[in-house]
Amino acid sequence: MTRLKGIVISVICMLLIKALIISITDASMLAQAINTETEVVTSYVQDRITSSPQTQIADALYSNGSPEVELDEDDLTEVELDGDELYEEEYEYEYEYGYEEECEEEYEEYEIEEETQSVWQELLQNGSSFNNAGIFRVRNTNGSYLRVIGNNLLSAMANINANTRAELWSIAPAQGSFGYYTIETLGARGASKGASANVLTASSSGDEGRVSVSDLRNGNQAQHWMIRSTGNGYVIANRQYPNLILNVDGGRPALAENPTDAVWQLGSYARTSYFRGNVSSSNSGGITLRLGVLPQAITRQLSWEVYEVANTWNNISSNVSVDVFQIRNKQAWPATSTPTFDVAVEGFLFDNECGYWIVLGDFTPFGAPNSPTWLDHDWHSGRIRMSLGSQGQDINAPDRGECRLKDRQKVFLHEVGHALKLDHPHDAHPGWRPLSIMNQGLPSGNNDVTARPQGYDKFNLIQKWGI
């Protein structure tokens, strides 16, 4: 029995000694960890750690070396400072000891930037919509105009001339995109020689961008613009880059998230070029124009491809409808009875052998049988003649590629424009030649002549017949 008691006492003593050794080892490791931690933080953090209860316990272990110190588990709460806590301590220390001014300045700059950005975004989201269309001069509140110069480059210039077209823009709803607009220049053609509109286009490389003009492409959101009122002007933002605002930077238009000169005024331009009077096929203020192409007007060069573009005049004004078709005989025309067409399209050999002008086509209205009248008067029928000449620059000359086809199409569309009562811009206003299909000349030889109706032509059609 005595021997058994001795064995039990020995085991208990061994367990107590082992527990004491483990406690001392854990306390040493804790003290070492605390010492290592305090070496990597700032002096301010060291002071706070040194004054903690855990550190005082560790100091007692090192100074006394006593194995009799009892450490309760609650007293051994780990002292850990993760990365975020260390950063907060150091930042707080820096702020309290000499860096408060720098911190406040950075914070104020951030607040100003956020406030400015929110102003532009608020204007775009809540500003009243631009609900107009027409020809405008686009002028920044700093006094400079958005304009096109040489080679389709854009600039912002203060000096303008009444007869120049470089600072004029046709603003119209973007097709199929409610609430967005295309901004088309009247100052320069694109690469298509006026087969499509030349419109303001955005490009970006991040928080800033640039603007240029390029041929309109359906569905290209970089060519769609949101226009919102600011009360004293308009702010203009791009659809593809909605955070970028149109502004003036260094004398050139640009795009930026946080611009300064970003308010624009849109000044309406009132010059029009159309004839007075009406057409017998008109109804309720509109016009339905039926074009009958006679067999003699169709040749190898003047193919149906030349004439089918007449429908380009559709979908501009809801009050204008143009229909073109072939007819097999001339019928009784012009006639007072109701014919199947309003305008006959014929081929004709003009005398282009001499003289300064080469006649490529013409339009003659009729108010009564065989009695031409001025376009300013009412008429009930008309005739378009297309040149059958085949020499030099004549439109019926041997084919020379796509450019030549555009010339022929331009001549026909130009004469249809007269049938719709549109005038030459330079006849209505001497010296005035905006980009227009109604200018005299050919796209292949004149930079202000286009192959399709442009913004100024559409503007006049709407002014004449309504939207």
The per-residue pLDDT for range 93-149, each reduced to its tens digit, is 444 444 455 545 554 544 444 444 456 566 666 556 677 789 999 999 988 899 888
Same CATH topology for 129-268 and 287-465? Answer: no
Cα separation, 198 vs 182, whole angstroms: 10
* Contact of 146 with 266, CB cutoff 8 Å: no
pLDDT above 60 for 308: yes
pLDDT above 60 for 215: yes
Q: Work out the angle between the directed axes of helices 2-39 and 53-64 (0-180°, nearest 10).
A: 120
Q: What sign does the CA torsion over 35, 36, 37, 40 have?
A: positive
Give me the residue label for tokens 């040489």. 150
pLDDT at 123 (0 to 100): 60
* Contact of 223 with 200, CB cutoff 8 Å: yes
- Among 320-329, 359-368, 404-413, the range scoring the smallest mean pLDDT is 359-368
pLDDT at 240 (0 to 100): 94
Span 29-39, mean pLDDT?
A: 46
pLDDT at 30 (0 to 100): 43
pLDDT at 185 (0 to 100): 94
Percent of the chain with pLDDT over 70: 62
Structure tokens at 200: 């303001």
How many other CB atoms sit within 10 Å of the CB of residue 179? 13
Q: How confident is the model at residue 339 (pLDDT cuts 50, 70, 90)?
A: low
- 3-state helix vs strand vs coil in the chain, percent to 5: 35, 25, 40
Cα separation, 320 vs 458, whole angstroms: 11
Q: How confident is the model at residue 341 (pLDDT cuts 50, 70, 90)?
A: confident
Indicate the residue type of 11. V
Tens digit of each residue's pLDDT (9 = 90 or more) over 171-181: 999 988 888 99
Tell me the CATH architecture of domain 129-268: Trefoil (2.80)
pLDDT above 80 for 68: no
Instruction: Provide CB contacts within 8 A for 11, sequence distance 6+.
Output: none
Q: The domain 287-465 belongs to what CATH superfamily? A: Collagenase (Catalytic Domain) (3.40.390.10)
Give me the residue label for tokens 């004439």. 307
Predicted structure pTM score: 0.70
Cα separation, 17 vs 465, whole angstroms: 109
- The string over 287-306, giving b where at least 16 C-beta atoms fall within 10 Å of a residue's C-beta and e elsewhere, is bebbbbbbeebbeebbeeeb
Q: Which residue would you say has higher pLDDT here, 262 or 231?
A: 262
pLDDT at 71 (0 to 100): 41
How many other CB atoms sit within 10 Å of the CB of residue 221? 15
For the chain, the structural domain boundaries read 2-81, 129-268, 287-465
Tens digit of each residue's pLDDT (9 = 90 or more) over 398-441: 655 667 889 999 999 999 999 999 999 998 888 889 999 999 99
Instruction: Provide CB contacts within 8 A for 227, sequence distance 6+.
Output: 129, 130, 171, 181, 234, 235, 236
Q: How confident is the model at residue 390 (pLDDT cuts 50, 70, 90)?
A: confident
Cα separation, 177 vs 238, whole angstroms: 13
- Among 71-75, 155-159, 458-462, the range scoring the smallest mean pLDDT is 71-75
